[in-house]
């Protein structure tokens, strides 16, 4: 039986209508391409926010626009995001064969997930994935920019940076594999305090200093793992754009921070 993880936050975090969704993403990507200089070399890894599109979609689009040069090269996306609803020890696969969104189904690279079975920190939890938005909100953007790809979705719970980095290194591959970390930054601080906090967080990320806490980024665990792997694989981090919900669609008393960060090989830094 073909098991599919159905979209859980279509119609809330992003449009549930396929036409409206495709049109909205197209607009955001076009705007990002117009406002951010593009490199001829696509990144190996990205950090992308996962709030509702009205809040963080423009920031996410700045990350996804960088994939254009490699749209036909990337065949697999390793997607890690933090669990928000169901606790998990380690990193959990979804136990299904596909994820669906209003734009269609995405096949899971079950062979890649099976290849991790010997690692004690890798488990399977359909419950952790069922209502998790941190992974789902990335999928329509991926569907819009990549014509053919499979997905390795891992929901990250209680894990060390080394455990995450071990999984990433096992899946690293070559230019056919994109690594995507889904995370927002600070949560519910006043606007100016959030700006200062997020700038300090960004300084850590750009130095590949994987010592972030969950008050700095809800996806601190997968980010810290990526930063450890980025050091090992000689990647260079580049901030693409940064804002918070007070800049987009929220009030400025309690904001959530967002950033798009690209990681390229040292001699391919995005300028």
C-alpha 261/C-alpha 22 separation (Å) is: 23
Domains of the chain with CATH codes: 4-156+169-183+199-249 (3.40.830.10)
Write out pLDDT tens, residues 109-161: 999 999 999 999 999 999 999 999 999 999 999 999 999 999 999 999 999 99
Query: Over 90: is that where the pLDDT of 250 sits?
Result: no
What φ, ψ does residue 237 adopt, rounded to 5°? Answer: -95, 140
Rounded to an integer, the average pLDDT of 224-240 is: 97
C-alpha 173/C-alpha 169 separation (Å) is: 8
pLDDT at 2: 87
In the chain, % helix, strand, coil (3-state, to 5) comes to: 40, 25, 35
Q: Of all helices (H) and strands (E), which one includes residue 169?
A: helix 161-171
The DSSP result for 18-62, as a single string, is: HHHHHHHHHHHHHHHHHHS---SS--SEEEE--S-HHHHHHHHHH
C-alpha 119/C-alpha 127 separation (Å) is: 20
At residue 41 the predicted structure's pLDDT band, cuts being 50, 70 and 90, is confident
Q: If we measure between CA atoms, which residue out of 181, 151, 167 comes closest to residue 75?
A: 151
Query: Over 90: is that where the pLDDT of 266 sits?
Result: no
At residue 267 the predicted structure's pLDDT band, cuts being 50, 70 and 90, is low
Q: Output 42 or 228, whichever has higher pLDDT.
A: 228
C-alpha 80/C-alpha 226 separation (Å) is: 10
Name the average pLDDT for the chain: 95
Query: Over 80: is that where the pLDDT of 36 sits?
Result: no
Find how far residue 38's CA is from the centre of its chain.
19
Query: Over 70: is that where the pLDDT of 51 sits?
Result: yes
Cβ pair 66, 142 in contact under 8 A: no
At residue 269 the predicted structure's pLDDT band, cuts being 50, 70 and 90, is very low
pLDDT at 270: 45
251 three-state secondary structure: coil
Cβ pair 53, 10 in contact under 8 A: no
Two tokens, residue 25: 């993403």
Two tokens, residue 76: 């697999």
Cβ pair 105, 97 in contact under 8 A: no
What percentage of the chain reaches a pLDDT higher than 90?
Answer: 93
pLDDT at 104: 98
b/e map of 89-122 (b: 16 or more CB within 10 Å)?
ebbbbbbbebbbbbbeebebbbebbeebeeeebb
Write out pLDDT tens, residues 8-18: 999 999 999 99
């Amino acid at each position: 039986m073909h098991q599919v993880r159905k979209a859980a936050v279509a119609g809330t975090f992003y449009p549930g209508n396929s036409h409206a969704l495709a049109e909205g993403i197209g607009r955001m990507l076009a705007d990002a391409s117009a406002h951010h200089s593009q490199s001829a070399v696509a990144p190996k890894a990205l950090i992308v926010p996962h709030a509702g599109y009205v809040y963080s979609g423009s920031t996410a689009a700045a990350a996804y626009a960088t994939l254009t040069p490699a749209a036909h090269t990337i065949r697999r996306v390793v997607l890690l995001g933090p669990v928000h609803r169901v606790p998990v020890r380690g990193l959990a696969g979804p136990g299904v064969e596909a994820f669906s969104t209003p734009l269609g189904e995405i096949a899971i690279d079950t062979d890649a997930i099976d290849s991790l079975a010997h690692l004690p920190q890798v488990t399977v939890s359909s419950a952790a994935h069922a209502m998790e938005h941190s992974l789902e909100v990335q999928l329509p953007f991926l569907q819009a920019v990549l014509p053919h790809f499979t997905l390795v979705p891992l929901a990250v719970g209680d894990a060390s940076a080394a455990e995450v980095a071990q999984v990433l290194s096992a899946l690293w591959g070559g230019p056919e594999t994109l690594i995507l970390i889904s995370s927002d930054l600070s949560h519910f601080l006043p606007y100016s305090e959030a700006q200062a906090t997020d700038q300090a967080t960004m300084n850590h990320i750009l130095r590949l200093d994987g010592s972030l806490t969950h008050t700095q980024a809800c996806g601190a665990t997968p980010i810290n793992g990526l930063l450890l792997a980025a050091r090992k694989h000689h990647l260079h981090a580049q901030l693409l754009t940064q804002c918070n919900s007070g800049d987009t669609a929220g009030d400025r008393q309690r904001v959530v921070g967002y950033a798009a960060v690209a990681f390229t090989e040292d001699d391919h830094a995005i300028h």
